[in-house]
Amino acid sequence: MSNFLETSLAELQTGLRNRDFSSRELTEFFLNRIDEKDGEIKAFLSLAPKKALKKAEEADKRFASGDENLPPLLGIPLAVKDVLAVEGLPATAGSKILEGFMPPYTSTAVSKLLDAGMIVLGKTNTDEFAMGSSTENSAYFTSRNPWDTSRVPGGSSGGSAASVASQMAPFALGTDTGGSVRQPAAFCGVTGLKPTYGRVSRYGLIAYGSSLDSVGVFGRSAADSAALFSVMAGKDPLDATSLDMPVPEINLNGSTNLKGMKIGVPKEYFVEGIQAAVEEKVREAIKQFESLGAEIIDVQLPHTQYAVPVYYLIAPAEASANLARFDGVRYGLRVENDDVIEMVKESRGAGFGEEVKRRIMLGTYALSSGYYDAYYGQAQKVRTLIQNDFLEVYKTVDMIAAPVAPTTAFKIGMHTDDPLAMYLEDVYTLPANLAGVPGLAFPVGFDQKNLPIGMQLMGRHFEEEKLFHAVHAYQNDTNWHTKSPKV
């Protein structure tokens, strides 16, 4: 087999095990594809071809050894967002302040996948410190949407989504603090999971908003992504907020009928500003869920309108604290100066980009004495109201169906002079992060410009499996997830 573009994970696993092809062939295939396509897409910040091929050869030896206890993802390539530490590979978080930084250890999410046999191809582009919705805030370059390279791939995990959509990697890891897995998945037409907060360890993730950050995964289908999620999830002694809720292998074979499942549709997610084609395709998909046996129920999430202001206080507040460690002493960039205070100031001044500085100022202001109660404290209270909206609705439905973003992928440059317009793109994704619930984004059609449209199912805490079950049933019945751009 020389073409792995349409191959599912199960087919890759069987093919490798039967030695129809080798991990070396598979890995070379994706590395060649990166060689051919990434000049245009610009999904990767750094590549590790030599290491990847060496790992592939090791995997092939294990396949040849006759060992019966091979790890489940042995020999399968993976791209990793550049906010996750992988020992021996650079980790910039899309920032100049971390240029040249080599983490001495590997993040737990990645190390679990490595233990399961996966092979890292390279690190993908991201908005600086994951702050953004388009990759335009990357200090290095803007990644392109494979469906239309004059448009953004979404963000902040835009490089990861673009790498999977353009089939330069079968899988990629991303992080979702306010939508950064789901929104680029929607913009690029791939399937992306944001797990329950705490379900996947954050150890080795360069922190943005610690009470919101979650490590997620992109794949070409729900079934494929589920396999990686079950490996990544679980308690990690190195992350005190990780939960002791391991995920047993998810078996989706029987997921064809959704009888008994109740799906809520919140009216607050279909309001002015939503692109007509997005609403139409999401509603069509909801009908499809109904025809698969699910019961569709109108629900209300009345505090949805506060998600943008609440998030844009809490996330910058946490970011301003998390970013204090970048002082020119411990990591990456230093602007030399004999005066240590000046050195710190100049290093931070030169190392951080505009959006990061904006958020540090927003966050520091919201946390400063005299304003703390009015901004940060108030935001925390409203966050609880948003959370309670979800808990209330989950008394009657199993999950919530909604669009991921109000529009399809926008043109590069469209929002760069207007941060507020960029923040408003996040209106449908932020609530799940504030509530800590899981969300699974997947493609449901195209607009008139042939740009992918995504929707999301948001579940109860710890009920990722149900989301996979529902989307797998949908994907069994439709073929949106099999469409690929002509890159």
Cα–Cα distance between 453 and 105 in angstroms, integer?
Answer: 37
Smallest distance, ligand GLN to C-beta of residue 175, A: 6
Look-up: residue for tokens 């992109």?
A: 218
Q: CA torsion sign, 161 to 165 to 166 to 169?
A: positive
Cβ nearer to ligand GLN, comparing 72 with 419: 419
- Calpha distance 183→212 (Å, rounded): 16
Residues 6+ apart with CB under 8 A from 413: 136
* Interface with ligand GLN (CB under 6 A), residue from 92, 95, 160, 177: 177
The residues in 104-143 that bind ligand GLN, with binding defined as CB under 6 A, are: 130-133
- Stretch binding ligand GLN (CB under 6 A), from 116-124, 177-185, 261-269, 438-446: 177-185
Place of tokens 């309108």: 305
Convert residues 64-83 into a mask of x (bound to ligand GLN by CB under 6 A) and - (unbound). --------------------
Candidates 268, 426, 464, 465; binder of ligand GLN (CB under 6 A) is 426
Q: Closer to ligand GLN at the Cβ: 27 or 142?
A: 142
Rounded Cα–Cα distance for residues 308 and 315 (Å) = 10
Angstrom distance (rounded) from CA 439 to CA 459: 6
When the beta carbons of 387 and 484 are compared against ligand GLN, the nearer one is 387
Name the minimum Å distance from CB 355 to ligand GLN. Answer: 8
Q: Which residue in the set 23, 108, 156, 456 belongs to the binding site for ligand GLN (CB under 6 A)?
A: 156
Task: Please list every residue from 311 through 350 that binds ligand GLN, using CB under 6 A.
Answer: 315
Q: Which is nearer to ligand GLN, 208 or 394 (CB)?
A: 208
Cβ neighbours of residue 352 under 8 Å, at least 6 residues apart?
Answer: 95, 96, 97, 128, 323, 326, 360
Among 111, 180, 230, 347, binds ligand GLN (CB under 6 A): 180
Distance (Å, rounded) from C-alpha 198 to C-alpha 85? 18
Complete DSSP assignment for 11-74:
HHHHHHHTTSS-HHHHHHHHHHHHHHHHHHH--EEEE-HHHHHHHHHHHHHHHHTT-S---TTT
Q: Which amino acid is at 390?
A: F
C-beta closer to ligand GLN: residue 132 or 266: 132
Segment contacting ligand GLN by CB under 6 A, of 42-50, 163-171, 174-182, 292-300 = 174-182
Compute the distance between CA of residue 361 and CA of residue 316 in angstroms, rounded to an integer.
8
Nearer to ligand GLN, 178 or 454 (CB): 178
Residue closer to ligand GLN (CB basis): 91 or 250: 91
- Choice between 27 and 196, CB closer to ligand GLN: 196
Of these, 208, 229, 390, 468, which contacts ligand GLN (CB under 6 A)?
Answer: 208
Number of residues located near ligand GLN, criterion CB under 6 A: 14
436 CB-near residues (< 8 Å, 6+ apart): 196, 197, 198, 387, 461
Distances (CA, A) of 288 to 124, 185, 306: 34, 20, 31
Of residues 255 through 314, those in contact with ligand GLN by CB under 6 A are none
Contact status: 163 vs ligand GLN (CB under 6 A): no
Among 77, 117, 146, 178, binds ligand GLN (CB under 6 A): 178
Question: Whole-angstrom Cα distance, residue 284 to residue 277?
Answer: 10
| Residues with active-site annotation | 81, 156, 180
* Least CB distance to ligand GLN at residue 179 (A): 5
Q: How near is the Cβ of 188 to ligand GLN at its closest, in Å?
A: 15
**Measured from the CB of residue 176, what is the shortest distance to ligand GLN in angstroms?**
5
Give me the least distance between CB of 324 and ligand GLN, in Å please: 18
CB of 130 to ligand GLN, least distance (A): 4
Instruction: Write out the binding residues for ligand GLN, residues 367-406 only, by CB under 6 A.
Output: none
**Residue among 52 and 356 whose Cβ is closer to ligand GLN:** 356
Shortest spacing between CB 390 and ligand GLN, in angstroms: 18
Query: How remote is the C-alpha of 194 from its chain's centroid?
Result: 6
Q: What share of the chain is helix, strand, coil (3-state, %, to 5)?
A: 40, 15, 45
The helix-helix angle for 158-165 and 23-41 (nearest 10°) equals 120
Question: In which residue are the tokens 């904006």 written?
Answer: 358
CA distance 434 to 65: 48
Rounded CA-CA distance 190/454 in Å is 8
Q: How near is the Cβ of 174 to ligand GLN at its closest, in Å? A: 9
Q: Choose one: 170-178, 196-204, 268-276, 405-413; the region binding ligand GLN (CB under 6 A).
A: 170-178
Task: Note the residues at the interface with ligand GLN (CB under 6 A).
Answer: 130-133, 156, 175-180, 208, 315, 426
